[in-house]
């Protein structure tokens, strides 16, 4: 009986942790929500589909970093050319 209660407690704790993690992943600031919308549009445009939400979130973070880098470069107006978002902003420098 004690083993069953322990198992129930562990399961409830895991459900609680998963709920917190899901809430954190889905609650975004308005600016971040706008970036995530751009990410969703980019995924649709280039046909990107990820097998799980962990991989999708990891690629979103890379996308966001690279888009911010592109926008900072373009806003600096140092060069006579501008960078754009293509099919590769979800990659690292290593690929």
Per-residue tens of pLDDT for the chain, all 95 residues: 556 677 766 776 767 677 656 655 556 687 789 999 999 999 999 999 999 999 999 999 999 999 999 999 999 999 999 999 999 888 887 75
Output the pTM of the full model. 0.65
Domain range summary for the chain, segments of one domain joined by +: 29-76
- Which residues lie below 8 Å from residue 82, measured CB to CB, with a gap of 6+? 73, 74
Q: How far is CA 86 from CA 12, 70, 94, in A?
A: 43, 11, 17
**CA dihedral (93, 86, 83, 57) positive or negative:** negative
């Amino acid at each position: 009986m004690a083993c069953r209660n322990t198992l129930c407690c562990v399961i409830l704790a895991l459900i609680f942790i998963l709920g917190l993690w899901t809430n954190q992943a889905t609650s975004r600031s308005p600016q971040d929500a706008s970036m995530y919308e751009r990410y969703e549009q980019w995924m649709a445009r280039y046909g990107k589909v990820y097998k799980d939400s962990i991989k999708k979130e990891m690629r979103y973070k890379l996308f966001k970093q690279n888009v911010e880098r592109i926008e900072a470069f373009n806003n600096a107006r140092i060069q006579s050319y501008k960078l754009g978002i293509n099919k590769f902003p979800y990659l690292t420098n290593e690929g």
